[in-house]
Structure 1
């Protein structure tokens, strides 16, 4: 039993330290552009995880070149993959609801975030996006890499001017 305790106690301390560290989310230092609420365990504001642009930029970035129905020619979008954002806030659920600045909302099955490299674009062609240009955040599916996504179902899930993600059970 002594050998077990010698192994278990340091392991338990290390595990509890890493869990405590993983539960922390910095406070936004600039304008909040995204709130993630619902089934999340890592928060920084009244049960939600709020992000400014710098916080989103601190997540792993993904770049995709894609043609969309809303732009002329191929565009380059970059931002964190939605699954990485969800992991950062300890999200668990089966569906996501994306809410835009004008309160338009669309639901996305959680499975889309695992099956496709869907990003929450913060930039188009290297530039931040203004509200006028469908920003500051835009859900972008990899339409060019997955032609089966080129239909009204996935276009409808490609919400622009995103202000909130609600993680649903």
Structure 2
């Protein structure tokens, strides 16, 4: 699952690097702002891409979690699976400790935060059992986007792991 999330985030960076030349081969326009939105697995990838790709200025993660370890720990506990090899390899833990958005300086109010100056709209269902809000709450509440950034959080009562028409609005 984490491989899909990180791979999708890398694909976004690849597309940003090449899309302009495909869309505007004669240089008739310049793309000056990039954004990303994703739901569920795509929402996890949205958090990773926002934390790694400086050209992204806007992100909308929908029913997702920016803290992989917290999310997978809850899932493992509820399934009676230990967070140890072979289920959770040491090499994966090491990678996550250095690359996951929750392991970065997301609370910093200086340029060490990869989210500084970005616009982030977080959409979540309060009754989501697949990606419980509790797994994301600490990160999202502590997320610092700085004076130039915007953070808006919408946790919808009575909504599970879904993207409702109210969220779309």
Do these two structures clear the TM 0.5 threshold for a shared fold by scoring above it?
A: no
State the TM-score, normalizing by the size of structure 2. Answer: 0.23
Structure number with greater Rg is 1
Compare the two structures and name the one with the higher strand fraction: 1
Compare the two structures and name the one with the higher helix fraction: 2
Answer 1 or 2: higher relative contact order, Cα 8 Å, separation at least 6.
Answer: 1
State the TM-score, normalizing by the size of structure 1. Answer: 0.23
